[in-house]
Structure 1
Amino acid sequence: MNFKAIVLSAVMALGVNTAVAAEAVSVDSLLNLVKQGQARDNKEFQERLKRFNSDKVTQEKMLAEARRERDNLLKESESKESKFQTNETTVAEAQERLTNRMGSLKELFGVLQQVAGDTKSVFEGSVVSSELPGRDVFLRDLIITAGSSSKLPSIEQLEQLWFEMQREMTYSGRISQYTADVVVPTGETTQKEVIRVGGFNVVSDGKYLNWDLDSGRLVELDKQPGGRYTGPAAELESASGTTLTSFWIDPSRGQLLKILGQSPELGDRVDQGGVVGYIIIVLGSIGILLAVWRMLVLIAEGSRIRKQMASDTPREDNALGRVMAVFQANKDADIETLELHLGEAISAEVPKLTRAIGWIKIISVVAPLLGLLGTVTGMIDVFETMSLFGTGDPKLMAGGISQALVTTVLGLVAAIPCVFLHTLTNNRSRELMMILEERATGILARQSEQQHAKAA
């Protein structure tokens, strides 16, 4: 037991000595590291201090240089400010001397600038520019020069202005033929032979052209005026030498032509009538055709009746011949019976002579009523439009009212000839019926005389 205790004590003593030795080694190392760190920090601090002292000298030199440069710039600025004041005074004095020397010329150049501006406006709106392009460039430069206080217009520029004004007046009195760019309604630009009539109109291929200010080119009107205007234009293009021809001139330089092109033609007016307008036209055409047909029939029937009046032999190709045939068939009957037969024969001929005449009269009465119906419906549409968009646009109201009145016009146009033709056909048929009645009365009178003579 004692031996074991001694061994255990020795082992424990050995372990304690080993731990103390390890701890002593670690503390020494830490102390050495601290010493080394302090030495390194002191070294870096000394190096930084050395660099700071070195940079301080450099920065003081740079600061001194910057201050010297600032002083030089301040001196230069004061010198230039003084020079600027001197120059400004010199310029003001020179400007005053220039103004005094110009005197009335200054007003002259003001008038020149105004005249050049007015001339430029005239050239831009003149169709002569289609033959003489590029004139506005010179005038633009002249306007700038005349309005400048540092540059005066030259004698050459004044003479050029005079020449351009005189050339405008000269060309405005000519009829010229030349090639120019023309914008067609499709938007394409083509080269065409055009004829310019003074400063008023330009035509090409029998169509009027208008001068467009924005594009500076001739533009073919989308809708040409009527044939009475385009016809003389085509004649002017085909004229040669000393041939005289008439031509319509637009003194407004295209504005009247645009208005004429926008005004509706006959077909447009008919379209404005709508469905009611087309019904009126159809009825009017039917009435006129019926009247023409009946007039031809009655004229032919009258011609055959006149031939029959010259002959005692009855023929079946006319009304009088058929009435005479009835008399021949009932010649031996008494007067009362014969009168009944003749009356029956005349009554049978009346429908043939008055056929379709009543329809002409009906159409002449119905056409104005349809026109009134179209007008009323059109006015209803106008008032509906006014209720939606108000009355601020008189043009919209006037257009709707004019469309509403078209049906009334169409109704009257259809009714007037129908009334006239109905009167003609009705009178013609009455004349033929009177001939039949007159002949029948004569036949009865002669037959009655013959019977009285036999009885006596």
Structure 2
Amino acid sequence: MTPRSASPDLIALVQAGGPVLWVLCALSVAALALIVGKWLQLASAGVGRFRDVESALSAWRGDSRGRALEILENSREPAAPVIGVAMRGAADSGVDDECVREEVVRQSVGLLTGLRAGLRPLELIAQLSPLLGLLGTVLGMIAAFQQLSTSGSQPDPSVLSGGIWQALLTTAAGLIVAIPALFAHAWLESRIERFRTSLEDAVTRVFTHAATASRVQRDPEGPVAVGERAANAY
């Protein structure tokens, strides 16, 4: 097959599949655009990179709160603003911890919602494509049997076989569209889910360290000294 004949043959193949195959072609283009756009979004946003956040957490655990906040302010990682809110709220004794946690949850939900934008249409394409392919096959089979019934008492088997292979084109096209779309959706969703888990872990480490530090400040001598004082009281 020469390059010149490839394009007309492809168009003829799509035309043989009927209008359902044209719809599947449009869905394949939309799925490809969603996959490429979402991959570029996650790559440009730095999803999966926590180097600056880890550096800020190390400074936070070392009681260098100013240095930790400075690292987060200069960072372009998507988790940095959320961790910064958690650190500022935990460091401010005049702010209720519950309010800080609510604000952290609000910003986290907004961040994750933005990262997941576009995944639902991709999932919908992966689910609808096989069904559309099956619909095209059923319609093609109906048309093939109609032609067979009008051919008289001696039907030509080639009419039926030609109608069947044309009808099966839509099923194959539906699977060709659905399988890569489903794989890409699962891969993108797993990246966002790993990011969500890492974000929750980082926020928890901020609050647990703040709670531990506040207990130490209230009782610098530690729990052992508290036990000794209690024993001496008796």
Question: TM-score, normalization: structure 1?
Answer: 0.41
| Aligned CA distance change for structure 1 residues 419 and 304 (closer, same or farther; 3 Å) | closer
- Any idea what the Cα deviations from partners look like across 1:113-158, whole Å, max 9, x if unmatched? xxxxxxxxxxxxxxxxxxxxxxxxxxxxxxxxxxxxxxxxxxxxxx
Q: Structure 1: how far apart are the matches of 2:48 and 2:21? A: 41
| Aligned CA distance change for structure 1 residues 273 and 344 (closer, same or farther; 3 Å) | same
Cα offset, 1:275, TM superposition: 1.2
Counterpart for residue 342 of structure 1: 104
Q: Structure 1: how far apart are the matches of 2:188 and 2:14? A: 29
Contact 2:86 2:104 in 1 (8 A): yes
Counterpart for residue 401 of structure 1: 164
Cα offset, 1:286, TM superposition: 0.6
Q: Structure 2: how far apart are the matches of 1:348 and 1:392? A: 64
Counterpart for residue 370 of structure 1: 132
Count of aligned pairs between the two proteins: 198
| Aligned CA distance change for structure 1 residues 382 and 303 (closer, same or farther; 3 Å) | closer
Contact 1:368 1:408 in 2 (8 A): yes
Counterpart for residue 388 of structure 1: 150
Counterpart for residue 323 of structure 1: 82
- Any idea what the Cα deviations from partners look like across 1:166-189, whole Å, max 9, x if unmatched? xxxxxxxxxxxxxxxxxxxxxxxx
Q: Which amino acid aligns with 1:320?
A: A
Counterpart for residue 61 of structure 2: none
User: Any idea what SS the aligned residue of 1:426 has?
Assistant: helix
Q: Which amino acid aligns with 2:138?
A: V
**1:359 aligned onto 2:121:** yes
Counterpart for residue 175 of structure 2: 412
Unaligned runs of 5+ in 1: 1-225, 231-260
| Aligned CA distance change for structure 1 residues 361 and 304 (closer, same or farther; 3 Å) | closer
Counterpart for residue 46 of structure 2: 302
User: Any idea what SS the aligned residue of 1:392 has?
Assistant: coil
User: Any idea what SS the aligned residue of 2:117 has?
Assistant: coil
Q: Structure 1: how far apart are the matches of 2:197 and 2:43? A: 15
| Aligned CA distance change for structure 1 residues 446 and 285 (closer, same or farther; 3 Å) | same
User: Any idea what SS the aligned residue of 1:389 has?
Assistant: coil
Q: Please say which of residues 426-435 and 333-342 is displaced more in the overlay.
A: 333-342
Question: Aligned-pair RMSD on alpha carbons?
Answer: 2.3
Cα offset, 1:354, TM superposition: 0.8
Cα offset, 1:307, TM superposition: 4.3
Q: Structure 2: how far apart are the matches of 1:303 and 1:425? A: 11
Counterpart for residue 429 of structure 1: 192
**1:438 aligned onto 2:201:** yes
Q: Structure 2: how far apart are the matches of 1:301 and 1:374? A: 40
Which protein has the bigger strand share? 1
Say which of 209, 212, 217 aligns to 1:454. Answer: 217
Q: Which amino acid aligns with 2:33?
A: L
Say which of 134, 141, 161 aligns to 1:379. Answer: 141
Q: Which amino acid aligns with 1:346?
A: S
Cα offset, 1:425, TM superposition: 0.7
| Larger Rg belongs to | 1
Q: Structure 2: how far apart are the matches of 1:327 and 1:303? A: 19
Q: Structure 2: how far apart are the matches of 1:434 and 1:304? A: 11
Cα offset, 1:304, TM superposition: 8.0
Q: Structure 2: how far apart are the matches of 1:433 and 1:372? A: 37
Q: Structure 1: how far apart are the matches of 2:198 and 2:46? A: 10
Counterpart for residue 281 of structure 1: 25
Contact 1:288 1:417 in 2 (8 A): no
Contact 2:126 2:181 in 1 (8 A): yes
Q: Structure 2: how far apart are the matches of 1:376 and 1:324? A: 54
Task: Report 1:14-163 matches (<5 A).
Answer: none
Highest relative contact order (Cα 8 Å, sep 6+), 1 or 2? Answer: 2
Identity of paired residues, percent? 28
Question: TM-score, normalization: structure 2?
Answer: 0.76
Cα offset, 1:299, TM superposition: 2.2
Q: Which amino acid aligns with 1:325?
A: G
- Any idea what the Cα deviations from partners look like across 1:424-456, whole Å, max 9, x if unmatched? 111111111112111111111111111111221
User: Any idea what SS the aligned residue of 2:72 has?
Assistant: coil
Counterpart for residue 17 of structure 1: none
Which protein has the bigger helix share? 2
Cα offset, 1:303, TM superposition: 5.7
- Any idea what the Cα deviations from partners look like across 1:297-342, whole Å, max 9, x if unmatched? 1122236843432453223744211102312442323443332222
Say which of 69, 72, 84 aligns to 1:314. Answer: 72
- Any idea what the Cα deviations from partners look like across 1:70-107, whole Å, max 9, x if unmatched? xxxxxxxxxxxxxxxxxxxxxxxxxxxxxxxxxxxxxx
Cα offset, 1:267, TM superposition: 3.2
